[in-house]
Chains A and B, each alone.
Chain A
């Protein structure tokens, strides 16, 4: 049994990293990053079969993770660094000239842990299905995970990929939708509602799980359940309910912190709510 408290301490530090990173360059996307923190901390800490010290592009013999909604790079960078993919102090270079920690993740600067560029939305599920198919060709039994935003599901390519995954029985992939129901211009329901998301993915032939993305115990149990559902000739998708801005009270309950950085005063206010558990970078 995983030590929930330990994971929650990691998550608190990652949330501090996120707000400090975006504050330092007055840009970046804290809202979705904070909402997905618990999931990524649990995935890298307890679920993935990976070895950061032996990272390579091909990832043969390891699980793979793709971030399709690349704008939440701060949370991914923090989790990668805190798992040993690169030095934690490098988080201070986020979005600065010549950094490996570009605004949106890329392979271009050779950052360990990143296997494809993302930022322009809707492309990650296709890449993940391709990587999962190569795993099958290589007789590699490990799994491929991919995180998407809910607003991102408005992109048509996602549904091309969804049809493919079911039609071709790609059953070594676990998709996760960050269902925070907010996007840049407002609530997803107001911008262009997605309807019954569970019914949609089921109609597209995927096995659907629903998860409370800001409840560490629930995240762990659902990720384990999703793994158990793999290999049954159907792809798996988790609809992960999260709160944009989770962990910082004034960032929750609104879409306004999707892509806005806190000022000095707001940073101080946010850090008061987030315990420094591992030492700031």
Chain B
């Protein structure tokens, strides 16, 4: 196992690894393109590289390097991308990437994972180390509720049932899992039983979990901190279109760039708050039947 970072060691919390294993930590400077190619090269001789930088610089900035040197070359590189989405906050739209899931899931063979809290991120990190092949691991910046049990097993491609329900399925990923839990509490007060599913692996997606749930509920709301184009919602829609079409509403950013602000302010402003999930459930229930 080796780790690389492009001048964001503190932000990525990679200091402990760097201090403990200086020979296996590579400070790459502000040169992400070189970092991705270098990581691909490190695998030759059987090392498992973990790259660390912000999600924006882990994807859009280096897409061709990932495509050719890592994905097409079949290299066992783990691309660990922090500060994804709106909740990066005050730094604004230059850094708030909302297109990364789409870009990465389009690459043949690339596994795409977006965990929802600290415990799930930790479990995912251990799981991807054992997986052979390229992985994109996306996580965020702010402190968020840590609700995943510490001992929960992380299986790549396997959804996690958060709350069983009967009226509507809410499929959420990343930070919006917590928002979905909040929305579920609101819905319960209104007498609506929401089944909440945490999809941490967007590719390969857990088709069985989705199909099993919608067979029961007959409608679905997807929720993600990402553009609705190309994200989790479109992956779920693809499953439904092929296997069992039911009404679906999308919670996500709708073809817009973000801006500076506090994380929760931004989620609300761009339609990714818990009240937006409640609203989407109301809409989808009207379309049902």
User: Given the interface contacts A130-B44, A131-B45, does A120 sit within 8 Å of B68 by beta carbon?
Assistant: yes
Residue from B24, B28, B29, B75 in contact with A137 in the complex, judged by beta carbons closer than 8 Å: B24
CA–CA, A44 to B264, complex, Å?
Answer: 60
Stretch of A56-64, A234-242, A246-254 lying at the B interface: A56-64
A164 x B69 contact (CB < 8 A)? no
Q: Does B34 contact A (CB under 8 A)?
A: yes
Stretch of A8-16, A78-86, A111-119 lying at the B interface: A111-119
Q: Provide the residues of chain A in CB contact with B49, threshold 8 Å.
A: 130
Chain B residue with Cβ nearest A104: B68
Q: Does B254 contact A (CB under 8 A)?
A: no
B31 x A133 contact (CB < 8 A)? no
B73 x A163 contact (CB < 8 A)? no
A58 x B2 contact (CB < 8 A)? no
Q: Provide the residues of chain B in CB contact with A106, threshold 8 Å.
A: 72-73
A135 x B45 contact (CB < 8 A)? yes
A160 x B2 contact (CB < 8 A)? no
CA–CA, A43 to B34, complex, Å?
Answer: 26
Stretch of B35-43, B84-92, B164-172 lying at the A interface: B35-43
Chain A residue with Cβ nearest B109: A108
Within 8 A of B (CB), among A47-67: 57-60, 64
Residue from B28, B40, B67, B68 in contact with A164 in the complex, judged by beta carbons closer than 8 Å: B28
> Closest Cβ of chain B: how far from A67's Cβ, in Å?
13
Q: Does A271 contact B (CB under 8 A)?
A: no
A130 x B41 contact (CB < 8 A)? yes
CA–CA, A64 to B75, complex, Å?
Answer: 16
Total number of B residues with any Cβ neighbor in A under 8 Å:
32
Q: Provide the residues of chain B in CB contact with A137, threshold 8 Å.
A: 2, 23-24, 45, 47
Binary B-proximity of A122-143 (CB < 8 A = 1, otherwise 0): 1111111111111101101000
Chain A residue with Cβ nearest B64: A120
A157 x B65 contact (CB < 8 A)? yes
User: Given the interface contacts A107-B73, A130-B44, A137-B45, does A161 sit within 8 Å of B38 by beta carbon?
Assistant: yes
Q: Does B74 contact A (CB under 8 A)?
A: yes
B38 x A129 contact (CB < 8 A)? yes
Chain A residue with Cβ nearest B77: A130
CA–CA, A119 to B65, complex, Å?
Answer: 11
> Closest Cβ of chain B: how far from A144's Cβ, in Å?
8
A129 x B41 contact (CB < 8 A)? yes
B72 x A160 contact (CB < 8 A)? no
Q: Does A156 contact B (CB under 8 A)?
A: yes
CA–CA, A58 to B64, complex, Å?
Answer: 23
CA–CA, A126 to B45, complex, Å?
Answer: 15
A126 x B44 contact (CB < 8 A)? no
Residue from A115, A116, A126, A132 in contact with B34 in the complex, judged by beta carbons closer than 8 Å: A126
Q: Does B229 contact A (CB under 8 A)?
A: no
Chain A residue with Cβ nearest B31: A160
B34 x A161 contact (CB < 8 A)? yes
Q: Does B26 contact A (CB under 8 A)?
A: yes
Q: Provide the residues of chain A in CB contact with B65, threshold 8 Å.
A: 123, 126, 157
Q: Provide the residues of chain B in CB contact with A59, threshold 8 Å.
A: 44-45
> Closest Cβ of chain A: how far from B73's Cβ, in Å?
5
Q: Provide the residues of chain A in CB contact with B64, threshold 8 Å.
A: 120, 123
Within 8 A of A (CB), among B27-64: 28-29, 31, 33-47, 49, 64
A60 x B45 contact (CB < 8 A)? yes
Q: Provide the residues of chain B in CB contact with A119, threshold 8 Å.
A: 68
Chain A residue with Cβ nearest B24: A137
Q: Provide the residues of chain A in CB contact with B39, threshold 8 Å.
A: 130
A128 x B45 contact (CB < 8 A)? no
Q: Provide the residues of chain A in CB contact with B45, threshold 8 Å.
A: 58-60, 131, 134-135, 137-138, 140
> Closest Cβ of chain B: how far from A239's Cβ, in Å?
21
Residue from A138, A140, A160 in contact with B33 in the complex, judged by beta carbons closer than 8 Å: A160
Q: Provide the residues of chain B in CB contact with A133, threshold 8 Å.
A: 26, 38, 41-42
A134 x B41 contact (CB < 8 A)? yes
Q: Provide the residues of chain B in CB contact with A117, threshold 8 Å.
A: 68-69, 72-73
Binary B-proximity of A10-48 (CB < 8 A = 1, otherwise 0): 000000000000000000000000000000000000000
Q: Provide the residues of chain A in CB contact with B44, threshold 8 Å.
A: 57-59, 64, 115-116, 127, 130-131, 134
User: Given the interface contacts A108-B73, A119-B68, A126-B69, does A160 sit within 8 Å of B34 by beta carbon?
Assistant: yes
B31 x A164 contact (CB < 8 A)? yes
Q: Provide the residues of chain B in CB contact with A161, threshold 8 Å.
A: 31, 34, 37-38
- Other 16 A-B pairs with CB < 8 A, given A126-B41, A160-B33: A123-B33, A123-B64, A123-B65, A123-B69, A126-B33, A126-B34, A126-B40, A127-B37, A127-B40, A133-B41, A134-B42, A137-B23, A137-B47, A157-B31, A157-B65, A160-B29
